[in-house]
Each structure stands twice: as C-alpha cells, then as structure tokens.
C-alpha cells in the first residue's frame, strides 16, 4: 500500500449504520472519562502529540480523555492492554508498525487482525539519525567513516528491538559492512537522555529530537523517509545518500474488537476533526510531522498488507526472541 494523505477523503467508517440495539448501547456514550494508552514514555514526541489530541478530543466530547503511558516491548504494551479492556469505547491505544511486528518477535496476547477495532490513522512518525552538537561529525558520510575506523566501538540508541530505528541501523550496517552496537531504550525520551549524557554516539529515533535540535544540543544527519522533512529541508534522506533503506511509520488508534459500530464511528469522526484542528496541526509541525489520514478500514487493510513484510524483516535480521 502506497503512502497516501487522506485528510480530505470521505470518512470511511463514519457512515456505518447502527442497529437499534447498537443505538441503545452507544447513545449515551461517553458518560465517563476515556483512557488513551500511549505505549511510549512521558516527554517524547508521541507523548506530546497524543496529549494534544486527547485535550482536543476532551473538549469535543465533553468528557476527559486521559493519556496513560505504558512504555516497553517496542511500543506494543498499549495494544496488549486492550486485551483486558471491554469493547465499550472507553479504552483506546496507539497502533503502529511495532505493534504489527511484535508478534513475530515474541509471543503477544493479541492477533493484529482479530483483536482490534481499527478506528483511524492520525499521522506519520518520521525517524532520523542524530548526534550531539559537540561531536565532530557534520554529515552522515563523516559518521559512517568514523564507524568504519572504529569497528565495534560505536553505539546507537533506538526505541526498542524491532523499531524503525533498529531496523534502519541494521540495514545501514549491512550495506556498509559496519560493526556497531544497537542499544534499545523504552522510547525517544530515554534515547535522547542517553545521547545527551554521552552514553551512546548517536540515536536513530523519531522526531522527539526536534526540541534538542532547536536548543542547539543535537545535530540531524539524515532522515529515514522517502522525502525530506518540511521542517528540515536542508537535511538529506538516506535514499539520497545512497542507502537502500527507508521507513514509513504511520500511527493510528484502535479499540478492542467488538466495539459498537456507532461508537466506532463517533470516535473516528471526533479524532478526524481533532487532527484537522489548527492546534493539532501546529503541534505536529513543531515535531516535524504531518497528519496522515486513513479510515479504520484503510488502516486495517494497511496492517493486513504489511504483516508479511514485518515477518520478513524479523526473519532477515534474526529478531525473534529465544
């Protein structure tokens, strides 16, 4: 499935017809706070984005949407938590490629295609390679040259085993014949702390590094998408630099399987309106991100199409847990 921006597309699941029983079940929703599980640590880009979305949703729904952080297992613990939640519209979680990939790495309590109600995709989550500003490497080529000259001595922080940062780091090492150590952390906030402390030489991370670039603490050497980031048009992509690797990391929202279609439609419509709001778009812009809309049906189809690719990645880089 090609990357597409559907912001002005028709709302796929908004037109779901509700039965009289479904109407009876969903007509008073929401009558209490909603939990939105963020599977990453506080303080990272995902946390900022999801808290902004939750605030806007709260205003729209007249009920508080509470963000709950459950970091670990490369961002798959939020999806796992849905297995203990009722399909009543009061527990939602972020879904991303790591959630789809994790079942091939280690046993999970969920089946990505059977256990979720796919609601909507919200944005892309670009990745890039950053180093401390006081380090001597001004370009990606200089960093690669340093890694060549120091086999086994370069450490790269990534947000978990099997994350986009991990996979791209492995692909770069394979292409250039490098030996470096990938160090998994629980999320971007932790990776950036390690980088600033000098515990690692670089971080292959999502755009939680933006405020550190703005603060003059880190330098962005390359981005991992197919196109340059609008916020940093001077920074090349890996593809431009001759690396045969790129990443598209959409993230969306899911609920437990069996959610009332009327509630699913209202959640979809609320999130879609929220993600189109000036406040949310401004937050994304500060994170070098953009809205990327997919309906629930389109997001589920994306998941279905990408699952074989996720398995192939796990097999290629021997990521399966022992």
The pLDDT confidence band at residue 237, using thresholds 50, 70 and 90, is very high
Q: What is the mean pLDDT of the chain?
A: 91
CATH number, domain of 60, equals 3.40.190.150
d(C-alpha 188, C-alpha 69), whole Å: 13
Judge whether 237 lies within some domain. Answer: no
Which pTM was predicted? Answer: 0.85
pLDDT for residue 27: 74
Q: Are residues 104 and 76 in the same domain?
A: yes
CATH number, domain of 200, equals 3.40.190.10
Q: Are residues 74 and 119 in the same domain?
A: yes
Judge whether 190 lies within some domain. Answer: yes
pLDDT digits (tens, 9 = 90+) for 219-233: 999 999 999 999 999
* 271 or 41, higher pLDDT: 271
pLDDT over 90 at 305, yes or no: yes
pLDDT for residue 2: 41
Range 204-231 average pLDDT: 96
Judge whether 97 lies within some domain. Answer: yes
pLDDT digits (tens, 9 = 90+) for 12-48: 444 343 444 444 456 799 999 999 999 998 988 899 9
pLDDT for residue 249: 87
Range 153-163 average pLDDT: 95
pLDDT over 70 at 10, yes or no: no
pLDDT for residue 17: 39
pLDDT digits (tens, 9 = 90+) for 88-119: 999 999 999 999 999 999 999 999 999 999 99
pLDDT for residue 25: 52
Judge whether 233 lies within some domain. Answer: no
Q: Which domain holds residue 255?
A: 20-125+249-316
pLDDT over 70 at 214, yes or no: yes
Q: Are residues 96 and 139 in the same domain?
A: no
Domain count, the chain: 2
Kindly report each contact of residues 64-67 with a partner whose C-beta sits within 8 Å and lies 24 or more positions away, as own/partner: 64/33, 64/34, 65/33, 65/34, 65/35, 65/36, 66/33, 66/34, 66/35, 66/36, 67/36, 67/37, 67/38
With 0-12 / 13-18 / 19 or more C-beta atoms within 10 angstroms meaning exposed / middle / buried, residue 277 is middle
d(C-alpha 79, C-alpha 102), whole Å: 11
pLDDT for residue 321: 83
The pLDDT confidence band at residue 273, using thresholds 50, 70 and 90, is very high
The sheet with strand 65-69 has its strands ordered as: 65-69, 34-38, 91-95, 250-256, 116-124, 291-295
Judge whether 235 lies within some domain. Answer: no
pLDDT for residue 3: 41
Judge whether 160 lies within some domain. Answer: yes
Judge whether 14 lies within some domain. Answer: no
Judge whether 242 lies within some domain. Answer: no
Q: Are residues 41 and 58 in the same domain?
A: yes
* 4 or 319, higher pLDDT: 319
Q: Are residues 77 and 154 in the same domain?
A: no
pLDDT for residue 98: 92
Percentage of the chain beyond pLDDT 70 is 92
Where among 206, 223, 240 does a domain terminate?
223
pLDDT over 80 at 124, yes or no: yes
Q: Are residues 199 and 253 in the same domain?
A: no
């Amino acid at each position: 499935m090609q990357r597409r921006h559907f912001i002005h597309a028709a709302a796929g699941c908004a037109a779901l017809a509700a039965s009289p029983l479904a109407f009876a079940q969903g007509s008073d929703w929401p009558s209490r706070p909603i939990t939105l599980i963020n599977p990453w640590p506080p303080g990272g880009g995902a946390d900022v984005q999801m808290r902004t979305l939750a605030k806007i949703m709260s205003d729209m729904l007249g009920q508080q949407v509470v963000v709950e952080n459950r970091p670990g297992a490369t961002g798959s613990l939020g999806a796992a938590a849905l297995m203990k939640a009722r399909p009543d519209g009061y527990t939602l979680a972020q879904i991303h490629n790591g959630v789809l990939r994790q079942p091939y790495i280690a046993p999970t309590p969920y089946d990505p295609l059977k256990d979720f109600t796919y609601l909507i995709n919200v944005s892309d989550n670009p990745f890039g390679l950053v180093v401390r500003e006081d380090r001597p490497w001004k370009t990606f080529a200089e960093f690669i040259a340093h890694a060549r000259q120091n086999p086994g001595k370069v450490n790269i922080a990534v947000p978990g085993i099997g994350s986009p940062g991990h996979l791209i780091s492995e692909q770069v090492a394979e292409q250039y014949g490098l030996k470096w150590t990938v160090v998994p952390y629980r999320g971007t906030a932790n990776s950036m702390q390690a980088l600033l402390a000098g515990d690692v030489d670089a971080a292959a991370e999502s755009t939680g590094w933006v405020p550190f670039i703005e603060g003059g603490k880190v330098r962005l050497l390359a981005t991992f998408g197919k196109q340059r980031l609008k916020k940093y048009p001077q920074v090349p992509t890996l593809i431009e630099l001759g690396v045969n690797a790129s990443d598209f990391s959409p993230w969306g929202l899911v609920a437990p399987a069996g959610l009332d279609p009327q509630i699913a439609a209202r959640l979809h419509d609320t999130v879609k309106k929220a993600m189109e709001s000036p406040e949310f778009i401004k937050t994304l812009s500060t994170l070098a991100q953009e809205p990327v809309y997919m309906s629930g049906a389109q997001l589920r189809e994306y998941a279905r199409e990408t699952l074989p690719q996720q398995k192939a990645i796990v097999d290629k880089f021997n990521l399966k847990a022992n």
